[in-house]
């Protein structure tokens, strides 16, 4: 599983994440109902719930990367930059690792 693979990464190992972006992009906003005010979108649709679950799981993987001192890159497609960072778990992760010098 992904958790096992991250746990096996060497310190400073690289992990690339590419979550499904179909419900996060600007093109799908009409059917997904995602917005800055409603980043979870239209929860009555399976594909929206699955996309939310995938971002939650990716965020868990990012936490594990921090724990094993791995380097990570998570692809974020153009058009999703205003909504995807508002996902509650991903936003909490970003706030956790952010700091001001």
Q: Provide mean pLDDT across the span 4-8.
A: 92
- Answer whether 68's CB lies under 8 Å from 11's CB: yes
Provide the pLDDT for residue 76: 84
Confidence tier at 101 by pLDDT (50, 70, 90)? low
pTM of the predicted model, to two decimals? 0.89
Q: Provide mean pLDDT across the span 12-37.
A: 92
Delimit the domains of the chain by residue range: 23-94
**40-97 pLDDT, tens per residue?**
999 999 999 999 999 999 999 999 999 999 999 999 878 888 899 999 999 999 999 8
- Kindly list the distances between the CA atom of residue 60 and the CA atoms of 6, 35, 92, in Å, as whole numbers in the listed order: 11, 23, 11
Nearest-CA neighbor of 71 among 9, 1, 3, 25?
Answer: 9
Provide the pLDDT for residue 15: 94
């Amino acid at each position: 599983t992904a958790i096992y693979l991250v746990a096996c990464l060497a310190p400073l190992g690289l992990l690339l994440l590419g979550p499904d972006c179909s419900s996060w992009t600007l093109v799908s906003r009409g059917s997904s109902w995602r917005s800055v005010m409603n980043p979870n979108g239209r929860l009555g649709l399976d594909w929206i719930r699955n996309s939310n679950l995938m971002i939650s799981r990716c965020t868990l993987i990012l936490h594990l990367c921090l724990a094993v001192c791995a380097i990570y890159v998570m692809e974020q497609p153009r058009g999703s930059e205003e909504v995807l960072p508002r996902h509650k778990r991903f936003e909490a992760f970003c706030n956790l690792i952010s700091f001001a010098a």
